[in-house]
Amino acid sequence: MSSSNTTDFTKPSTFILQGIPGLETAYIWISIPFCTMYIIAILVNFSILFIVKMKQSLHKPMYYFLCMLAITDLVFYMSILPKILAIFCFNYKEISFSACLTQMYFFHCSYVMESGILLAMALDRYVAICNPLRHSMTLTNPLVAKIGLAVVLRGCIVVFPYPLLARQWPYCRTIIIPQPYCAHIAVVNLACADTRVSSYYGLFVQFCVISVDGIFIVVSYIQILRAIFSLPTKDARLKTFETCDLIISVMNRFAQMCPCISTFSLPTCTSCYQALCRAGW
């Protein structure tokens, strides 16, 4: 093999996304639920943004965070589902090296942002239920905007090394990615070099960022439940629970995030939309 050919293979121009091995004959049928999920997720998330914008009574921190979650959802779905549908509907499995790294970045970036937003929502509900008299003074609109900016910056900065590290490795084993999207570890595993730096950094993000968020979320909701059950009357407890529809949805969402990847979060998205409608419309 010539030097030029070796160099081309070491820095491939394209990868091949394998999709779901063994189910190639059923791709056209598999595409139906994916396509349905994509359309409904886009409609529901845009509906959430529209309702919160139009309804003045929903201009509160909890619903601002819900809008951030909806935007993150849109980024998440749009980063992977179009390519997944191209594989299942048209058997178009090629993806350029740059496009793969871009998909990797937005995929993981939205994941980290989502974790931060869920933490912000948990803290908002903690203050609202455990210290309601100070809620409006504590979580002001400028503070909510700063929290949102911090969540975005954290996601962008934390995930930025993923594509940088993946770009520097030589790829001389295979260019076939054994799944329908470019996740960080799936791409790095194709490299023919010592990729422990990428692996260790991926573990750092998973355990020192996502897991820390998860711990604070769990602690916040434990304190919320303790505050609710300490209320003196059943009616007071029920009334407080009625304001927690979004809490239930967020806890469900976090349970789906506990595995490394959550691509089927549509039920939570829909339940958030239903809770929003009950709250405002």
Q: Give residue 199's domain range.
A: 3-280
When pLDDT is averaged across residues 239-262 and rounded to a whole number, the result is 57
- Note the pLDDT of residue 266: 46
- Note the pLDDT of residue 112: 92
- Quickly count: other Cβ atoms within 10 Å of residue 139's Cβ: 21
- State the CATH number of the domain containing residue 209: 1.20.1070.10
When pLDDT is averaged across residues 79-98 and rounded to a whole number, the result is 91
Indicate the pTM of the whole model: 0.83
- Note the pLDDT of residue 132: 81
Question: pLDDT tens digits, residue range 46-77?
Answer: 998 999 999 888 898 988 998 998 999 899 98
Number of domains in the chain: 1
Question: pLDDT tens digits, residue range 259-276?
Answer: 444 443 444 454 454 455
> In whole angstroms, what is the distance from residue 132 CA to residue 116 CA?
22
Nearest to 65 by CA among 281, 249, 263: 249
Residue type, 139: L
Rg (CA), the chain: 21
